[in-house]
Chain A
Amino acid sequence: LAKTTQPISMDSYEGQEVNITCSHNNIATNDYITWYQQFPSQGPRFIIQGYKTKVTNEVASLFIPADRKSSTLSLPRVSLSDTAVYYCLVGDRYYKLSFGAGTTVTVRA
């Protein structure tokens, strides 16, 4: 499994855009990049997944450069309810998820 590196924490204010960059230098050809979100006392929840270029859904955007050695999760116009831990995971499409420490995002009023 490819090792990922992401910031331990980030602070933001309501209405701002939050960008979290994850490094995964040894990503393999078959690997996808997936982001999960976890609120206190809940299980992780899928946010977005991508292989290359840009993916956007109703929650976030995921930017992946051509070399795929990093990726950036973009959360537009965050609110207090976006305060959570965000995990970047890299692996092939099958099964076992490997969570790192994640990035704790704190949104302030």
Chain B
Amino acid sequence: EAGVTQFPSHSVIEKGQTVTLRCDPISGHDNLYWYRRVMGKEIKFLLHFVKESKQDESGMPNNRFLAERTGGTYSTLKVQPAELEDSGVYFCASSQDGLSGRSYNEQFFGPGTRLTVL
């Protein structure tokens, strides 16, 4: 079974440019999450989709960030315009509802996209 995939693995852009990150969750997972770790800080929650709907976007830092989940499948996170403080690693995760195997809400993480804004 394929895991969560993210594209690109790395992105280097200039301040003021636009970047779009993509996440493909595990097939059949209705829940999709975005997290990020900025330099030297802890991993922080950004938002949560249930299928195509935003369930919780309380962690989105500002309106320069726009997340979408087309048809409840893959998701994109767009940063426009990018600022220096947006540099960090952006993780996507997905999960099934309820008790699944070993746990409730076991989230499966992708490898992350390392974003560098110069």
A positions within 8 Å CB-CB of B: 32, 34, 41-46, 48-49, 57, 93-101
Contacts and interface: CB of A to CB of B under 8 A. Distances in A.
B45 interface: yes
Interface of B: 4, 31, 33, 35, 42-45, 48, 55-56, 59, 91, 93, 102-112
| Most chain B beta carbons < 10 A, residue from A34, A43, A101 | A43
A69 B55 CA distance: 30
A96 B56 contact: yes
B23 to A, nearest CB: 11
Tell me the dominant secondary structure on chain A's binding face.
Answer: loop
At the interface, is chain B mostly helix, strand, loop or mixed? strand
Contact of A46 (B43, B55, B106): B106
A3 to B, nearest CB: 12
B48 A46 contact: no
Nearest to A57: B102
B103 A96 contact: no
Contacts of B4: 43
A94 B95 CA distance: 10
Contact of B42 (A41, A42, A101): A101
A26 to B, nearest CB: 19
